Structure 1
């Protein structure tokens, strides 16, 4: 049973911005059509094996006594696909109960893992921090309250909570209003010193830093909606009143921390849509350009802000104003003094709940928050270097050969990360004995279910196959990188652990190859004489 995401944590779609439902609405008609054809949770087995060259299913009925060899032969055929010509491949399949290797090809090759890197971080965080770990965001003062006046500065101190939606800053402001405070004589000081001041990883491409794929990391940040895309603002673009008019642009949350430069125009219905939303490098100016037909439903883009600490302070300051509290001084950054008094504090949901959107949605920002948090909690240093050392220590403790890996960030955005299929598969085998494994397993995306907090990044894949509702895995996609790693139960009732890493392919990501492998494993019927296969 998949754990539900607590509404107290994520809120409702309406509460946190219509852009969330807008994004889901793009695929809703298709999902509804599919649901009419097949009851939820029911997998319709495909009639055999998918021929990657012909693009069709073909019969692959095999004598059960030959199933062990048939799996290896079937996987070999898949990997001979022309889609993989010149590509590098690493594959390992293990029996999840015994750890026996059932199939391996290039399993020692060091390859770029993409988002499967998040599996390492999730496992290390659940072990290091614990499933009950909670982040804290605190408001403090070094002054005294005299009636409705707070004579002193107000400090907003963060520890990296990725669940700090705008409404949660509103909750903090409401607590202060409940104390009877109506005016703060001093400044609003944002304290993000729980982490270091390295906002962007040096490996990340500058072309990514305005997108939600590579956000700036701070101990104080804002998530605009339920997906917890920290450090971003949602830019909603809709047609204007008539052709020739500027498009309508709205921000979620509404904030003056960023400035919109609207260069886009509305065009007659039926014309081509070409909208671009980009943040000008080194600034918080978001440029909207292009053309949007009048009959368009519009679009929404998640844009990373520059300096999320200031973003969080701006959202909190606005929340204070709505609660009738005026801050007389400016907003600045600083360190909370040792003797400061706590006025309000919020705790995040448990880490066991946070790993759900982290893994289900492949959330890059949460990955980096967890790395820096591990470093801070164990080494007193909220940095990538300290946090990744903790990750590596945990991997070594469960038998992963860390000499074969290179860990550069938590999300897998860095192209300098290296993993092997053999060691990643061993990790997935080893974590099954951990007390927190159920939380880890339930947080993995599931093939097929339309609910994004169940299916996640696999919600539209492997439908009408033996893998639907069965396979739980993390997928990764980047230019030249396509990966899939997780668990699947075979037709014979044998749980399998697998990793497939594909690098340096040409053209579109070979997701059809990954899906063919997943179906082959789901349809596998092991015989007593099944032999290991190592290539």
Structure 2
């Protein structure tokens, strides 16, 4: 992606037509409003947006009055702004106290430590469950007195359908953790809760020797094809980690300098249900439980005896890693969960129907938008900025609003679970600690929508969605948000309004094709 042009943007403070001095007192507010209009128009006319399709709307958060609009009813790809819709609808359908349950059950009698039938491991899509949680479930099996299972370990992922990837997702993104497969039985390798993936760590050996590769969680479910070598001390690292399409073979290539730091990459797996089954089988063995007949997949019988359960955090808490870090898998799991809750079918089609039915009560018109997933990964999603601000306004009246509002990234706050995808943006401006908004990024697509309070305490909502961009639109989104944060009714901005140049690190963070938090170094 080309590097953005110079980000210095100077907006004149008095771009409106002069009026007689006698009219200044009565027209001060209108003039300030006109200045805001002119300044926002100047941002949208910046060279970096030439040839792009951009929509922007600003509204009063209490009255809904429109302060500025430009092409705000035209549909565009929203990228991760689509998560505003899926998250709000999920809270509305499931409720903020919703929890995901993972259970292990036994079928058949247990005599002398021997279970005559099968063990069943059943999931409902928990994206926060870790390998340690499966280990704790295995411990409960052992605590029940079972030492030998004559039947199978049966994985039950039927809470969702078997469609693993969304409509319109790019095939070449499949190895990467932000594009993991969706299963009702899944596992996360970290407390970012990157469901359906594992961590691959590459460590140097002695110069000239092979690099060492480990996974977290440790598993034999994947095969590491390691050709990475240890280079000379101080040499440049060229390590790459990529799963081969349609397999669980992970290629590790390149060179890592001797004495250098361990390199950490994330990789999806093919069929997360299989990974979970393998991890749980290993956990049972660690706790002294042998399974004689191997593993399989199937439905847990209604009369199975529950040996243990693990419950996730409530949805209100899950909103934080979901929205702050723009977690695609959380969005899709919630879509399928909504479908299961409303129609008894854990599929994308059922979930999107359930969400669509709620949109009228969420300030949106379902007949003028198109959703094919919950995360915004699909290039087939189509949403207008005006519809997004309708959602932002309607959400304020919902009982779950505070949890949702608190989950939005906060401009310029460095803590990852506060600032999220805005943690490196708008620092040292009136927007810092003020703007709460959802970002969105794909190649040629950028979006920023959320809440801001002006310098004189006026609450606003705004949405800017840009498509067909050739450089990053993020500096211009920031210019809009900072201009709104600094607005003061009845006054014009001082002399000139300047968006400062960004550092090289900040430029690199913006000059990506994906959501910043999908690139772990951001």
Fold conserved (TM > 0.5)?
A: yes
- In 2 relative to 1, CA 318–53 (structure 1 residues): closer, same or farther, beyond 3 Å? closer
Query: 1:355-374 maps to which residues of 2 (within 5 A)?
Result: 355-374=319-338
Shift of 1:491: 0.5
Per-residue CA deviations over 1:458-511 (Å, capped at 9, x if unaligned) read 11111111111111111011111111111111101011101110110113x221
Give distance in 1, aligned partners of 2:51 and 2:121.
53
- 1:397 deviates by 2.5
Question: 1:277–1:402: structure 2 CA closer, same or farther, 3 Å change rule?
Answer: same
Deviation at 1:294, TM superposition (A): 2.0
CA distance in structure 1 between the partners assigned to 2:489 and 2:344 by the alignment = 49
Cα distance in 1 for residues equivalent to 2:321 and 2:360? 27
- Per the alignment, do residues 311 and 198 of structure 1 end up closer, same or farther by CA in structure 2, a change over 3 Å counting? same
Report the Cα distance in structure 2 between the residues aligned to 1:73 and 1:295, rounded to whole angstroms: 56
2:72 aligned with 1:117: no
The one of 104, 121, 131 equivalent to 1:139 is 104
User: What SS does the corresponding residue of 1:453 show, helix, strand or coil?
Assistant: helix
* Aligned residue-pair number: 476
Match of 1:243 among 190, 193, 207: 207
Aligned to 1:207: 172
Q: Which residue of 1 aligns with 2:480?
A: 517
1-structure distance, mates of 2:444, 2:49: 11
Range that drifts further, 393-402 or 489-498: 393-402
- Counterparts of 1:124-523 in structure 2, within 5 Å, are 124-240=89-205, 242-507=206-471, 509-523=472-486
Counterpart residue number, 1:32: none
Distance 2:312 2:34 in 1: 50
Do the aligned partners of residues 110 and 215 (structure 1) sit closer, same or farther apart at CA in structure 2, a change above 3 Å counting? same
* TM-superposition CA deviations, 1:29-81 (whole Å, max 9, x none): xxxxxxxxxxxxxxxxxxxxxxx975447586669643211111111111111
Work out the CA distance in 2 between the residues paired with 1:272 and 1:510.
31
Partners of 1:202 and 1:403 in 2: CA distance: 19
Contact 1:187/1:327 (8 A) holds in 2:
yes
How well do the aligned residues superpose, as a CA RMSD in angstroms? 1.7
Structure 1 unpaired stretches of 5+: 1-51, 530-535
Residues in 2 aligned to 1:269 and 1:60: alpha-carbon distance in whole angstroms:
53
CA distance in 2, matches of 1:514, 1:57: 12
Q: Output the CA distance in 2 between the equivalents of 1:153 and 1:145.
A: 11
Contact 2:167/2:372 (<8 A) preserved? no
SS in 1 for 2:309: strand
Over 3 Å counting, the alpha-carbon distance change for 1:415 and 1:54 in structure 2 is: closer
| Paired residues of 1:53 and 1:81 also in contact (CA < 8 A) | no
Deviation at 1:526, TM superposition (A): 2.4
Unaligned runs of 5+ in 2: 15-23, 493-522
CA distance in 2 between partners of 1:515 and 1:323 (Å): 53
Q: TM-score, normalised by structure 1?
A: 0.86
Q: Normalized against structure 2, the TM-score is what?
A: 0.89
Deviations 1:307-337 (A, max 9, x none): 0011111111111111121111211111111
SS in 1 for 2:321: helix
